């Protein structure tokens, strides 16, 4: 399991977690001390404690999106709440931009939340007595901005999430998708560095959900925030993530890029999710290309190593000769033949490529 | 397997029931009916407790910790017990507030006297606070009704005020109103405060809930005597009894409303960077406003109900007249006064809507139901 992004390991991570444990129950701390860092959720359950998060460690770098995927009760929301310190972790260390989050006092915590963090909730959590505009301006006003400033910033946000013209509606007058747009706008109003999203699209209809995911990707393209995204939907995770962490019973089963998770599921549990995933929709050419061949063996066509298989499959299959795979500067870095693509498209899902 | 289990449980219940019956009849047959048999009559072991309480309160009010107090009338220092002085100064504070509102509504000189002197008022004929004319109060009620919920409420308010005016209950109605206008906001503030404290601290909640249970099941009359003993006779004692009686539902509904808030709303407030005060005043209380408003409604209803009963310990107003009418069996007057109280109640219920954007249907219902209730209650006492 790789916990560091290979490229940026020299930079200070925006979020760094070191073996976080969160155990609920009357004598959780005592139990944890007794366990000596070897937490077995079955044993804890017998003693009346529930293990929420079990030894979670990872690093998250600037502009990166980590999607934490797990079924309900897997501890993903608890992990998020530990990192935003809405609940106190039982043990472990969390660093935000190198600063120890858990040792901060109340004042520093409020300061970091006012300026660095934004959070979107599954049930939207809008204030029912405030209009769309007032809801979005709320974190700014709490921070102490003047009314003029916060209103003009809130108007900007209204435009950004595409709610122009509805700024004086009350939340109850909006549809679920629109309410979540307000939630997103509110969380972005203070221009946070870190963006927490707790199952933001789970309460929405499938069509609206798809639309909101597209919208979300568009926003992320513009803003490039560091994101911790929680979901129970594996497809959603594949669609959005730079890296995915799959959680089960509080343990991170695997943390890797979508392609690696689909290609090499670390455990049986992860395999259950990946086996039905159409691989051409997840994998890039890079993941299946063969070694570089001599120029005269390759056909005319060139494909980029970063494009999805699904996108280029048809044109590759229509070629008789293997095609060349290029990197971003146009150099040939590998080759791809028909047979490999056919295997990916129609072959046994569980076989190695 | 399941069936046998079920039967087992059923049989068990039957056996338990049979056992209870057996014990019951055994006691019936074997306990000898004699006053000396402790199984037949338990002797009143702590029948002396009420006297002990009486003595204790007497000691507290008249002998405990005397302090030196300056008396301006005889221009000398006097010894007076601490508790009595404290309760009496609280009384006079509340009495002044009631007096002030009352004189705005029905006119008078007492407020002016408390800033100057009786001599000043006697010498200056102009120093008299004029009463508000009924036309003003009536039109104010109509305007308020209209601004809050349109024409219907405006009509209701107008008719209710007019009713009070033409049936000759204007002055007592305004006196009752003045008492309620002081008691209700104080009840609201105390109730909100304790509701928030109970929400914040589990210990406070555990202490408060049984107290609330007791307070809400106690008969209304039982508040009168302690209020009278500690605070003396008059409007202030009535107001204090009213406040004590009207606060518990406010505490309960505040707590209920705060507890019903989804945790995500609290978290959203925290993630927006709220400190404790901002979280409470700008996120939690506004989100719980619906329940808190029902609490306000309850406070007003309870205040009006208690303000009538408070006439027993000297509170002026509709209750006092009702008491007189009841004592002399004047059925007509009783009905009219009760109706006046109802219309006053309808008017006062508007104040709920000050805080609310839209009048919820709940408020409408409770408004009508409770007015009818009040009428029935008044007739019952007759």
Spatial distance between the Cα atoms of A303 and A311, rounded to a whole number of angstroms: 10
Could you tell me the residue range of the domain that residue B74 belongs to?
49-123
CB contact under 8 A, A113 and B268: no
Tokens matching residue B230: 């500690």
Note whether residue B9 is domain-resident: no
Among candidate residues B160, B217, B166, B106, the one with its CA nearest the CA of residue B349: B160
Percent of chain B surpassing pLDDT 70: 84
Judge if B267 and B342 occupy the same domain: yes
Model pLDDT for residues B44-63, shown as the tens digit of each residue: 888 888 888 888 888 888 88
The alpha carbon of residue A142 is apart from the nearest alpha carbon of chain B, in Å, by 6
The alpha carbon of residue B349 is apart from the nearest alpha carbon of chain A, in Å, by 21
Percent of chain A surpassing pLDDT 70: 95
pLDDT band at B202; cut points 50, 70, 90 = very high
Judge if B177 and B280 occupy the same domain: yes
Spatial distance between the Cα atoms of A40 and A34, rounded to a whole number of angstroms: 12
CB of B278 within 8 Å of a chain A CB? The answer is yes
Predicted confidence at residue B347, as pLDDT, reads: 55
Q: At what angle do helices A106-115 and A132-143 cross, to 10 degrees?
A: 140
Give the least confident one: A118-132, A194-208, B318-332: B318-332
CB of A142 within 8 Å of a chain B CB? The answer is yes
Predicted confidence at residue B40, as pLDDT, reads: 83
Judge if B348 and B232 occupy the same domain: yes
Model pLDDT for residues B316-334, shown as the tens digit of each residue: 888 887 777 777 777 767 6
Judge if B103 and B224 occupy the same domain: no
Note whether residue B156 is domain-resident: no
Percent of chain B surpassing pLDDT 90: 26
CB < 8 Å from B in window 177-196 of A = 186-187, 190, 196
**B225 vs A349, residue with greater confidence:** B225
Among candidate residues B365, B223, B257, B354, the one with its CA nearest the CA of residue B301: B365
Which residue segments constitute the domains of chain A, with CATH numbers given? Answer: 61-91+99-279 (3.40.50.300), 280-346 (3.90.1280.20)
CB contact under 8 A, B271 and A84: yes
pLDDT at A230 over 90: yes
CB of B267 within 8 Å of a chain A CB? The answer is yes
Give the least confident one: A233-237, A297-301, A305-309, B5-9: B5-9
Give the least confident one: A111-125, B171-185, B268-282: B171-185
* Average predicted confidence (pLDDT) for chain A: 86
Model pLDDT for residues B16-40, shown as the tens digit of each residue: 999 999 999 998 888 888 888 888 8
Note whether residue B194 is domain-resident: yes
Predicted confidence at residue B364, as pLDDT, reads: 37
pLDDT at A289 over 50: yes
Do strands A15-24 and A251-256 pair parallel, antiparallel, or not at all (unpaired)? unpaired
Residue at a domain's end among B123, B151, B180: B123
Model pLDDT for residues A2-21, shown as the tens digit of each residue: 444 445 456 888 999 998 99
CB of A311 within 8 Å of a chain B CB? The answer is no
DSSP string covering B276-305, please?
HHHIIIIIIHHHTHHHHHHHHHHHHHHHHH
Predicted confidence at residue B118, as pLDDT, reads: 80
Model pLDDT for residues B337-362, shown as the tens digit of each residue: 776 766 666 655 554 444 443 333 33
Model pLDDT for residues A39-56, shown as the tens digit of each residue: 788 888 888 888 889 889
Judge if B202 and B66 occupy the same domain: no
Residues in chain B with CB shorter than 8 Å from the CB of A125 are 262, 264-265, 267-268
pLDDT at A65 over 50: yes
Among candidate residues B265, B272, B280, the one with its CA nearest the CA of residue A127: B265
User: Can you give the length of chain A in residues?
Assistant: 353
Judge if B115 and B178 occupy the same domain: no
CB contact under 8 A, A110 and B273: yes
Residues in chain B with CB shorter than 8 Å from the CB of A115 are 273
Judge if B180 and B245 occupy the same domain: yes
ipTM of this complex: 0.84
Phi and psi torsions of A243, nearest 5°: -135, 150
Note whether residue B192 is domain-resident: yes
Predicted confidence at residue A104, as pLDDT, reads: 92
Predicted confidence at residue B361, as pLDDT, reads: 34
Give the residue from chain A lying closest to B286, CA to CA.
A129
Note whether residue B32 is domain-resident: no
The alpha carbon of residue A251 is apart from the nearest alpha carbon of chain B, in Å, by 24
Predicted confidence at residue B183, as pLDDT, reads: 92
Judge if B193 and B320 occupy the same domain: yes
Judge if B62 and B193 occupy the same domain: no
Tokens matching residue B142: 């109509």
Residues in chain A with CB shorter than 8 Å from the CB of B287 are 127-129
CB contact under 8 A, A113 and B357: no
What is the rounded average pLDDT of the residues B269-284?
Answer: 93
Output the pTM of the full model. Answer: 0.80
pLDDT at A137 over 50: yes
Note whether residue B26 is domain-resident: no
pLDDT at B372 over 50: no
Interior angle at CA B208, CA B205 and CA B214, nearest 5 = 140
Note whether residue B43 is domain-resident: no
Predicted confidence at residue B234, as pLDDT, reads: 87
Considering only the beta carbons, identify the residue of B262, B282, B287 that sits closest to A123: B262
Predicted confidence at residue A42, as pLDDT, reads: 82
What is the rounded average pLDDT of the residues B99-120?
Answer: 83
Predicted confidence at residue B6, as pLDDT, reads: 54
Residues in chain B with CB shorter than 8 Å from the CB of A111 are 273
Note whether residue B188 is domain-resident: yes
pLDDT band at A345; cut points 50, 70, 90 = confident
Predicted confidence at residue B210, as pLDDT, reads: 94
Residue at a domain's end among B93, B123, B153: B123
Give the least confident one: A202-206, B57-61, B366-370: B366-370
Spatial distance between the Cα atoms of A58 and B87, rounded to a whole number of angstroms: 64
User: How many beta-carbon contacts under 8 Å exist across A and B?
Assistant: 62
pLDDT band at B370; cut points 50, 70, 90 = very low
Q: For residue A245, count CB atoms less than 10 angstroms from its CB and return exposed for 0-12, middle for 13-18, buried for 19 or more.
A: buried
- Residue B313 near residue B238 (C-beta atoms within 8 A): yes
Give the residue from chain A lying closest to B289, CA to CA.
A129
A105 by DSSP, 3-state: which? coil
Judge if B74 and B173 occupy the same domain: no
Number of domains in chain B: 2
Could you tell me the CATH number of the domain that includes residue B304?
A: 1.10.3720.10
Predicted confidence at residue B358, as pLDDT, reads: 37
Phi and psi torsions of A316, nearest 5°: -65, -40
The alpha carbon of residue A333 is apart from the nearest alpha carbon of chain B, in Å, by 47
Residues in chain B with CB shorter than 8 Å from the CB of A130 are 286
Judge if B114 and B184 occupy the same domain: no
3-state helix vs strand vs coil in chain A, percent to 5: 40, 20, 40
Judge if B194 and B343 occupy the same domain: yes
Q: For residue B92, count CB atoms less than 10 angstroms from its CB and return exposed for 0-12, middle for 13-18, buried for 19 or more.
A: middle
């Amino acid at each position: 399991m790789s916990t560091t992004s290979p490229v940026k390991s020299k930079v200070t991570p925006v979020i760094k977690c070191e073996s976080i444990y969160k155990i609920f129950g009357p004598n959780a701390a005592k139990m944890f001390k007794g366990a000596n860092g070897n937490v077995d959720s079955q044993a804890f359950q017998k003693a009346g404690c529930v293990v929420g998060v079990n030894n979670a460690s990872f690093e998250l770098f600037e502009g990166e999106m980590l999607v934490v995927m797990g079924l309900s009760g897997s501890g993903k929301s608890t992990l998020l709440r530990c990192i935003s310190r809405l609940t106190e972790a039982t043990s472990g260390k969390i660093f935000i931009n190198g600063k120890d989050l858990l040792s901060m006092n109340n004042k520093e915590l409020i300061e970091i939340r006012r300026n660095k963090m934004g959070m979107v909730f599954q049930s939207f959590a809008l204030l029912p007595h405030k209009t769309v505009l007032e809801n979005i301006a709320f974190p700014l006003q709490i921070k102490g901005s003047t009314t003029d400033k916060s209103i003009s910033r809130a108007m900007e946000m209204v435009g950004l999430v595409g709610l122009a013209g509805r700024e004086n509606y009350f939340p109850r007058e909006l549809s679920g998708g629109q309410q979540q747009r307000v939630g997103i706008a509110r969380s972005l109003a203070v221009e946070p560095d870190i963006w927490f999203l707790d199952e933001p699209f789970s309460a929405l209809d499938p069509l609206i959900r798809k639309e909101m995911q597209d919208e979300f990707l568009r926003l992320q393209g513009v803003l490039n925030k560091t994101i911790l995204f929680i979901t129970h939907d594996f497809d959603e995770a594949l669609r959005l993530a730079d890296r995915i962490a799959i959680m089960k019973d509080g343990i991170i089963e695997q943390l890797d890029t979508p392609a690696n998770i689909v290609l090499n599921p670390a455990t049986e549990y992860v395999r259950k999710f990946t086996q039905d995933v159409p691989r051409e929709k997840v994998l890039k050419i890079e993941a299946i290309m063969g070694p570089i061949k001599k120029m005269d063996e390759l056909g005319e066509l060139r494909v980029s190593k970063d494009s999805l298989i699904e996108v280029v499959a048809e044109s590759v299959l229509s070629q008789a000769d293997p095609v060349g795979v290029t990197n971003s500067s146009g150099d040939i870095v590998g080759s791809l033949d028909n047979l490999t693509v056919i295997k990916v498209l129609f072959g046994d899902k569980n076989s190695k490529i | 397997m399941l069936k046998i289990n079920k039967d087992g449980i059923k049989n068990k219940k039957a056996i338990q029931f049979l056992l209870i019956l057996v014990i019951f009849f055994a006691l019936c047959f074997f306990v000898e009916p004699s006053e000396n048999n402790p199984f037949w009559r338990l002797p009143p072991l702590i029948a002396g407790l009420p006297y002990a309480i009486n003595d204790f309160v007497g000691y507290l009010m008249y002998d405990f910790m005397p302090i030196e107090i300056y008396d301006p009338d005889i221009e000398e220092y006097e010894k007076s017990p601490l508790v009595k002085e404290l309760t009496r100064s609280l009384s006079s504070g509340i009495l002044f507030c009631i007096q002030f509102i009352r004189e705005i509504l029905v006119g008078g000189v007492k407020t002016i006297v408390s800033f100057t002197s009786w001599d000043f008022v006697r010498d200056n004929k102009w120093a008299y606070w004029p009463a508000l004319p009924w036309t003003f109060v009536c039109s104010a009620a109509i305007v308020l009704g209209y601004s809050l919920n349109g024409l219907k409420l405006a009509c209701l308010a107008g008719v209710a005020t007019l009713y009070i005016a033409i049936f000759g209950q204007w002055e007592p109605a305004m006196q009752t109103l003045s008492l309620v206008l002081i008691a209700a906001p104080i009840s609201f503030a105390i109730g909100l405060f304790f509701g928030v404290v109970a929400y914040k601290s589990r210990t406070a909640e555990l202490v408060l809930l049984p107290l609330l249970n007791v307070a809400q099941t106690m008969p209304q009359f039982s508040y009168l005597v302690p209020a009278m003993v500690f605070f003396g006779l008059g409007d202030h004692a009535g107001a204090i009894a009213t406040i004590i009686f009207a606060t518990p539902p406010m505490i309960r509904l505040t707590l209920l409303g705060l507890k019903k808030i989804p945790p995500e709303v609290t978290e959203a407030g925290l993630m927006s960077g709220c400190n404790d005060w901002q979280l409470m005043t700008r996120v939690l209380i506004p989100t719980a406003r619906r329940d808190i408003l029902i609490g306000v409604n309850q406070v007003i209803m309870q205040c009006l109900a208690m303000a009538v009963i408070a006439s027993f310990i000297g509170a002026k107003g509709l209750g006092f007249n009702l008491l007189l009418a009841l004592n002399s069996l004047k059925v007509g007057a009783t009905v009219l006064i009760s109706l006046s109280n109802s219309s006053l109640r309808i008017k006062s219920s508007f104040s709920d809507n000050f805080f609310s954007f839209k009048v919820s249907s709940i408020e409408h219902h409770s408004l009508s139901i409770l007015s009818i209730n009040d009428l029935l209650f008044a007739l019952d006492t007759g």
